[in-house]
Structure 1
Amino acid sequence: MASFEVDRKFLGNLAKQVEPNNALLASMLFKILGLHINLTEQTAKARKQRKLDTLRTSDSLELYFHIVWLAREGLIMLEQYVLPMVGDHGELKVLAFKLRASFYHIFVLFHNNPPISAIGVNTSMPYIPPIPRLDKGKGVDRHDTVSESGRSSVQPTHPTEGGPVGPPPGFGPKLPEPAGAFLLPSVDYRPTAHEYFKQALALADNLLWGSHSLRLSVKTEYAAFLYECLHDEAGSRKLAKDTIAEVYDASEGMDDDMFQDACDLVTVLGKMTKRGLKPENPPRSSGPNTGPSTTSRAGPPTIPVPAPIPGPGMGNFI
């Protein structure tokens, strides 16, 4: 994903910048960079599989464990060593808040309960192995009858009498925990992830200019989160559309590398503006020599999203 590449660039550049004055912070940023590269590769592999079937193949289970573990360790390093030391550094602060939201985004995709994504693992339905039969096929002969004369006086004569007594509440057999619960609690991470995305977005709007590639990275992943995790298709398209308009309206200059990153992210955002919309049906013709028919059997046509109008000097931005 283009936003992940931007995040890695800023991780490396900012680590070099702070290294002379804060070696510990630089070391943690470099560690998060290496973890982020590994995590991106594993999530891309999982997306290609489309579904992690942990009940049939051990490879899927190991991949799922690896993704959850990497995201958990990255979040621990970020919250314990990076966030307390970001200070007033604008880009580093935005990046740290964005990475925290990204790690929770991973939890929602792969470890949420209830599951919301097809690529994740169903944590609400733990796998319960079958209990082996101990009678080897020889069931209890239920056709034996006991004569009334041979029935003891202490034996129950009514179907509801007697029987085994169940354990009191709280002392019953423990249900098996879902896969991955030993790494991370199986809960609903969507509210927390959404709140962290909104915090990162507010920081990016206040500290970075409109066409800053890190700011675009925050909004690109937030738009993906809205679409994939909250299923807010209209909100995702609106955010992508508004972000493109802000880029065209921005007048700040940028170097060649940031300009290329901004172009890539704007391309991704352009695709997001059409994500979830039904394609328009081509007009039907009544015959080879007649024009297009004025009637259509399809539903009401969708309104195409208007393309943003470029500002002065931004005509060849994309």
Structure 2
Amino acid sequence: MASSEVDQKFLGKLAKNVEATNPLLASMLFKILGLSISLAEQLVKAKKQRRPDPVRSPESLELIFHIIWLSREGLVMLQQYVIPMVGNYPELKVLAYKLQASFFHIFVLFHNDPPVSTMGIATPDLAAGMASPGFPPFAPSRTEKGKGLAIEDGWNSSQGSIQPTHPLEGGPVGAPPGLAPPGSAVYLPARFLKEPKNFLPEAHQYFREAVALADQYLWGSHSLRLSVKTEYAAFMYDCLHDAEGSRRLAKDTIAEVYEATEGMDDDMFTDACELVTVLGRMMKRGLGSSNTLRNKGPIISSPPPTAPPAVAVPPPGMENPI
């Protein structure tokens, strides 16, 4: 995903390469790199909760809200500041379009409507003010026509002009929208972070664009190209539920690696080997019966050992009859 180690390596390397000629682009790439590192930690935690209880814990909801928020912010930086400036950098262009698909991949997993994964959540409608299980309903600020925000009950209206005029003005910066401050049990719905919808068609289109660019600019064993194909295969399996297509893509990608004749440095070679290993597992993903046999032992059992043939023993005195 947008948190893969290969993508992070290229984000750092390409940001350093363009820093002298395009400081703004480099700055945005470094920011996306920092966001990606934080996102990686959250995704690891979320994958451990792949089959959660029907009623999520407050910690689980906060984790998913954080993932949605990080992905939304990363996508904004990517689409507004990075993609418009990548025309002259082939590797960076592939990476930018791959990250765009990755962020949408996260939206599909965690925030799609209708849900396509057990990792997602169904949060209440913000306008309806309904509450998630275990949380009180969210009460939006009261408004009066022509008067803006109404003063909350108990608020001292006699405060001086240098003090905040309502509870939302001034003071330290709080948690990101949708995330409760430490010790608070109030959560806004994920709809407040990003409107849920069916992200599948858009995500699929972005993956196809990233794959086309990788095929155009990068050779078969390039680790960034393998990163694009690996996540696309995962997206096909987890989100499109196209197991056969995912296995076929993994198999074809491995074949492209072995057919490639271009050289690579040691670091890229190590990354390519790791990704080929992942693709090899994806080739067998979903083949339950054969995998079960393989896990339990060899598919074909060895025949039981047979006793050696009997050897005739000559009587005493006849050991050498000739």
The TM-score, its normalising length taken from structure 2, stands at 0.70
| Aligned residues of 1:219 and 1:239 also touching (Cα < 8 A) | yes
| Aligned residues of 2:28 and 2:81 also touching (Cα < 8 A) | yes
Counting matched residue pairs gives 242
Q: Partner of 1:27 in structure 2?
A: 27
2:269 is aligned with 1:259: yes
Alignment of structure 1 residues 206-221 onto 2, 5 Å = 206-221=216-231
**Aligned-residue RMSD, C-alpha:** 2.6
* SS of residue paired to 2:191: coil
| CA displacement at 1:107 relative to structure 2 | 0.2
What per-residue deviation string (whole Å, max 9, x for no partner) do you get for residues 94-113 of structure 1? 00000000000000000011
Q: Partner of 2:141 in structure 1?
A: none
Alignment of structure 1 residues 1-318 onto 2, 5 Å = 4-51=4-51, 55-123=55-123, 179-280=189-290, 281=293, 282=299
Structure 1's 3 and 68: CA in aligned 2 closer, same or farther, altered over 3 A?
closer
Distance across 2 between alignment mates of 1:16 and 1:26 = 7
Provide structure 2 residue ranges, at least 5 long, that are not aligned to the other structure. Answer: 135-187, 294-298, 307-322
Distance across 2 between alignment mates of 1:45 and 1:194 = 25
Distance across 2 between alignment mates of 1:252 and 1:2 = 26
* SS of residue paired to 1:279: helix
* SS of residue paired to 2:192: coil
**Amino acid in the other structure paired with 2:8:** R
* SS of residue paired to 1:198: helix
Give the percent of matched residue pairs that are identical in Structure 1 and Structure 2.
66
Provide structure 1 residue ranges, at least 5 long, that are not aligned to the other structure. Answer: 131-177, 291-318
* SS of residue paired to 2:88: coil
| CA displacement at 1:122 relative to structure 2 | 3.1
**Amino acid in the other structure paired with 1:198:** R
Distance across 1 between alignment mates of 2:39 and 2:62 = 13
Return 49-58 or 179-188, whichever deviates more: 49-58
Runs of 4+ in 1 over 6 A off after TM superposition: 287-290
What per-residue deviation string (whole Å, max 9, x for no partner) do you get for residues 43-92 of structure 1? 11011122455844211111111000000000000000000110121000
Structure 1's 190 and 56: CA in aligned 2 closer, same or farther, altered over 3 A?
closer
Structure 1's 283 and 64: CA in aligned 2 closer, same or farther, altered over 3 A?
same
Q: Partner of 1:137 in structure 2?
A: none
Q: Partner of 2:156 in structure 1?
A: none
| Aligned residues of 2:3 and 2:39 also touching (Cα < 8 A) | no
**Amino acid in the other structure paired with 2:192:** F
**Amino acid in the other structure paired with 1:207:** Y
Structure 1's 128 and 219: CA in aligned 2 closer, same or farther, altered over 3 A?
closer
Q: Partner of 1:143 in structure 2?
A: none
